């Protein structure tokens, strides 16, 4: 046998040995990818698991160890359906992006945003859709410090549509506030605004109130510090530092 034929035979043998290995690798990749997609969709089953997931996500974010960064992969995982475990109602403030500060990526959160994180009928309808149709387990009302909408309410700012928006925040202003206003006053108002918003949500939506009483969902408050990235969760109407 000439050397050329020997080389060809070796190549054929090598291909014969390696082909099953490559096939197995490709099959495993597809299989485990699909399995991971299933886990991604189904891993959060209770409101408390959703809270824990958000807390862990904020810790990863603070430690610069976020894992939900492969957006192309997450688009692929969620292209056929979505099952977000939590709906976050928060402010439009550009420094408060829920998907990033909770390290949730694409497909894990419904997010409703309005200046001052207040409720209205459209927000309530979105929440009822999330919890009833998509079986979302948790609603978080997320306030934050240095909130321009809260500042506007305190300063009595009025504009065409802004006036009615800030009027919804005004009941949270402490009538015994002292002048000049401090950051504490704005902070205090923002925290109370979260609590009052939760109370209004429960009072106005019989659907959500029913799901809450049946322990199908939880509605909790949280407060984001834009100066350090930390989220403090409100439990029993007391903000935990």
Nearest distance from C-beta of residue 96 to Zn ion, angstroms:
7
Nearer to Zn ion, 113 or 218 (CB): 113
Q: Is 2 annotated as a binding residue?
A: no
Is the four-CA dihedral 171, 174, 179, 185 of positive or negative sign? Answer: negative
- Report the alpha-carbon distance of residue 101 to residue 228 in Å, rounded: 11
Nearer to Zn ion, 41 or 165 (CB): 165
Q: Is 144 annotated as a binding residue?
A: yes
Query: For residues 145, 150, 152 and 153, what is the CA-based torsion angle, rounded to 10 degrees?
Result: -160
- Report the alpha-carbon distance of residue 98 to residue 110 in Å, rounded: 9
Kind and range of the H or E element at 90?
strand 86-90
Nearest distance from C-beta of residue 229 to Zn ion, angstroms:
16
- Report the alpha-carbon distance of residue 77 to residue 107 in Å, rounded: 9
Kind and range of the H or E element at 72?
helix 71-78
Residue 223 gets which letter from DSSP?
E
Q: Is 91 annotated as a binding residue?
A: yes
Nearer to Zn ion, 91 or 222 (CB): 91
Q: Rg (Cα) of the chain, in Å, rounded?
A: 25
Nearest distance from C-beta of residue 162 to Zn ion, angstroms:
13
Nearest distance from C-beta of residue 128 to Zn ion, angstroms:
24
Note the residues at the interface with Zn ion (CB under 5 A).
Answer: 91, 93, 147, 149
What angle, rounded to 10 degrees, do the helices at 206-213 and 183-204 form? 90
Nearest distance from C-beta of residue 41 to Zn ion, angstroms:
32
Q: Is 19 annotated as a binding residue?
A: no
Nearer to Zn ion, 109 or 147 (CB): 147
Nearer to Zn ion, 138 or 147 (CB): 147
Residue 112, classed as helix, strand or coil, is strand
Q: Which residues are annotated as a binding site?
A: 91, 93, 144, 147
Q: Which residues are annotated as a binding site for Zn(2+)?
A: 91, 93, 144, 147
């Amino acid at each position: 046998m000439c050397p050329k034929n020997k080389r060809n035979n070796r190549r054929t043998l090598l291909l014969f040995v390696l082909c099953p290995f490559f096939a197995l690798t490709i099959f495993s990749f597809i299989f485990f990818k699909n399995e991971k997609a299933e886990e991604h969709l189904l891993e959060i089953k209770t409101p408390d698991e959703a809270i824990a997931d958000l807390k862990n996500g904020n810790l990863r974010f603070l430690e610069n160890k976020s894992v939900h960064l492969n957006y192309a992969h997450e688009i692929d995982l969620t292209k056929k359906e979505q099952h977000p475990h939590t709906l976050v109602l928060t402010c439009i403030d550009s420094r408060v992006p829920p998907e990033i500060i909770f390290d949730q990526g694409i497909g894990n959160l419904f997010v409703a945003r309005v200046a001052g994180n207040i409720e209205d009928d459209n927000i309530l309808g979105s929440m009822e859709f999330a919890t009833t149709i998509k079986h979302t387990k948790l609603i978080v009302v997320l306030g934050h410090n240095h909130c321009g909408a809260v500042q506007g309410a305190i300063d009595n700012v009025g504009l065409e549509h802004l006036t009615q928006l800030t009027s919804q925040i005004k009941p949270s202003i402490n009538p015994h506030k002292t002048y000049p206003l401090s950051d504490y006053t704005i902070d205090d108002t923002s925290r109370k605004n979260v609590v009052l918003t939760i109370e209004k949500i429960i009072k106005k939506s019989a659907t959500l109130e029913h799901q809450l009483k049946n322990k199908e969902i939880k509605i909790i408050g949280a407060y984001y510090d834009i100066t350090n990235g930390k989220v403090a969760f409100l439990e029993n109407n007391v903000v935990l530092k």
